[in-house]
Chains A and B, each alone.
Chain A
Amino acid sequence: MARERKPKLAVWKFASCDGCQLSLLDCEDELLAVADKITIANFPEASRAVIKGPYDVSLVEGSITTPHDAERIHKVRRASKVLVTIGACATAGGIQALRNFSDVKDFVAIVYPSPEYIVTLNKSTPISDHVFVDYELRGCPINKYQLLEVVSAFLIGRKPIIPPYSVCMECKRKGNICVMVAHGTPCLGPVTQAGCGALCPSYNRGCYGCFGPKETPNTNSLAEWCKKLNVSRDDLTRFFRNFNAYADSFRKESEAHER
């Protein structure tokens, strides 16, 4: 008879701020219970112990920005039964994908006195540009309850239940007054995927798109509405060009207004 085995979870980091993997340690009430059910086999931010793969679930944080990382992600994929990207960097390239709209050589020269020491790729790209990804969890940062849902779903062997609709749905359910209609504040809520709990509009500010494009986003219509609020072309470009700047629909919309 086969011995009962605890599933193995691994956490991998590429170019990122560490915030999404910190979400796992921020599950203060759930962490010890989770650690009881699964083996945390590779999680350098939290442990010096490393257990060899293969891993049942790998959580990947960060985007690919160096030739070394472009190789390393393939090793991670080979060692993982299920690969889940966590956060805007791994899913859309992150804030560091702002380089994709400029010449990275200029960027290196601005930041580093000895550019020859720096090895970097022209573009910051999502994990799915490099390997097959089983599931993409959105957010900058991710929502820790969505993370628990995704990890439990894959460990049980079912599909994660993560709503693909817009922030507007969450806002209406909360009973918020629309910041765009009532106050004329530009808001990415109509084209951004839910998950944060409509945080920004609840604090009287417009959504700035942490969770990336919703399914079938009508970015062009939103841009037209923003123009009616006297948002300049430069501001429109910046509006769509944030933490999910390289997500397809946001990228196209920001480029449409770029001068």
Chain B
Amino acid sequence: MSVVLCMDHVSFSHAGRIVLHDLSFGIRAGEMTALLGHNGAGKTTLLRLLLGLTRPGAGQVLLEGRPMQAWSRREVARRIAYVPQGHVPLFPYSVRDIVGMGRLAETPFAPGLHRHDRDEVTHALHALGITHLADRPYTELSGGERQAALLARALAQGARTLILDEPETGLDYGQKQRLYALLRTLATQGHAIVATTHDPLAAARVFDRAIALRQGRIMADGPAADVLAPPMLEQLYAPR
């Protein structure tokens, strides 16, 4: 499996404090990677680095072998899609509008979506099983439905790498299972999936690989079932 996104000796400090220390790893296509760690371990910073939203203090982030800053925002958006934790914008955009935003990198100035873009949106809505929500205001959805809309947007974006921030937050058991099944399908189709999670037990079952962060360093990186076995978990979440 090919490495699509790669951290090469990356360090990052904020306000004089070292947040991440000398991280190196590669994200591979077709693989589901879970990022775990206690609160404040640097997961969010790591996601922002992977998304190219911030630059490392040392080392570099490589997207398809090229340094992240060499890509334009549009080029990055075609390759990496981000699924944030569901939040609510002020204005009541419909679910279709939100998913349509996934096509912004393709047609930023067009007055409307082209036929091809609309097809992508329809397809993404269908893949998430939320076609019936298409014309509902996003602001009125439940947490799970919002999550689904944001995932549909990521699919519509057409990127081969998906980065998700605690995607299971606010989902009930059934929704979680469906989310994991969908992510597995995508991985099988060759997508690279990276997700932060606070649920090591589910991660051990569902993900292929786990990267455990503790105080800004990689404590373990390997098959999820091994990394997230009880002895390691105790160390990982031990009080500092």
Partners in one complex: no
